[in-house]
Amino acid sequence: MTDTSPTIVNRTLPTRLPNSAYRVREYLTEKEVDRLIEAARKRGRNGARDAAAILLAYRHGLRAQELCALRWAQVDLRNGRLHVNRTKGGIESVHPLHGPELRTLRPLQGSSPYVFVTEAGTPVTTSWFLRMIQRTGKAAKLPFQVHPHMLRHSTGYKLANDGQDTRSLAHYLGHRNLQSTARYTALAPHRELSPNLGDGKGQAAAA
């Protein structure tokens, strides 16, 4: 006769390691972002939209949700201003829009209140942004998998390398806690060479 009495089996979920354990690094260099944008521009009939999304996310340190929710009411093309609404309780701010951004945004204007939309006219989603970034990273032949949040980290490292102090960088990225920003300034290799603002640099790759 088969014993059907219940048995106790100890089961534990595998512990997930930090993201850094699975990825080579958490940011892209400026040249790698340029490669990503160029690859996006050449991919399919929505290349202009995709390239603009990558550029905006990088220049302004946008999270995927912030980018997908971006509305034209936040964009002032005439005066070159972007009102950034932060998620996760972040600090809202107004960023300058420079020439490359203005040139990529103008052709996207349409009847939708959202800046980035699908061919059906609906707002893009964070899952779309993830898939688009991953496919574009492969098209750009980057030697590692790319994910959307790398663009925000790229903004932080770029500005830290340009000499922005922690408080200014925190304000630009919408951080309320300076500890969230310290990771960028601590790892900036040229930090000791330009510790202060005022040298005309640090506008999210404005050149």
CATH code linked to domain 26-187: 1.10.443.10
123, β-bridge pairs = 117
Choice among 25, 42, 88, 176 that is catalytic: 88
Choice among 43, 83, 135, 149 that is catalytic: 149
Helices (H) and strands (E) in the chain, counts: 8, 3
Q: Which tens digit of pLDDT belongs to each residue from 164-183?
A: 888 888 999 998 887 778 77
Looking at residue 202, what is its pLDDT?
39
Choice among 27, 58, 114, 184 that is catalytic: 184
Reply yes or no on whether the pLDDT at 17 is more than 80. Answer: no
Nearest to 90 by CA among 177, 175, 152: 175
Looking at residue 90, what is its pLDDT?
87
Choice among 35, 49, 158, 175 that is catalytic: 175
Tell me the average pLDDT across 11-19. 55
Q: Which tens digit of pLDDT belongs to each residue from 56-100?
A: 999 999 999 999 999 999 999 999 999 999 998 888 999 999 999
Domains of the chain, by residue range, sit at 26-187
27: annotated active-site residue: no
Choice among 35, 59, 63, 86 that is catalytic: 63
88: annotated active-site residue: yes
152: annotated active-site residue: yes
Q: Dihedral sign, CA of 83, 152, 168, 102?
A: negative
Looking at residue 163, what is its pLDDT?
86
Nearest-angstrom CA–CA distance, 27 and 96: 23
86: annotated active-site residue: no
Tell me the average pLDDT across 195-199. 34
Choice among 152, 153, 157, 172 that is catalytic: 152
Paired sense of beta strands 75-76 and 81-84, if any: antiparallel
Looking at residue 197, what is its pLDDT?
31
Q: How many residues does the chain have?
A: 207
Reply yes or no on whether the pLDDT at 114 is more than 80. Answer: yes
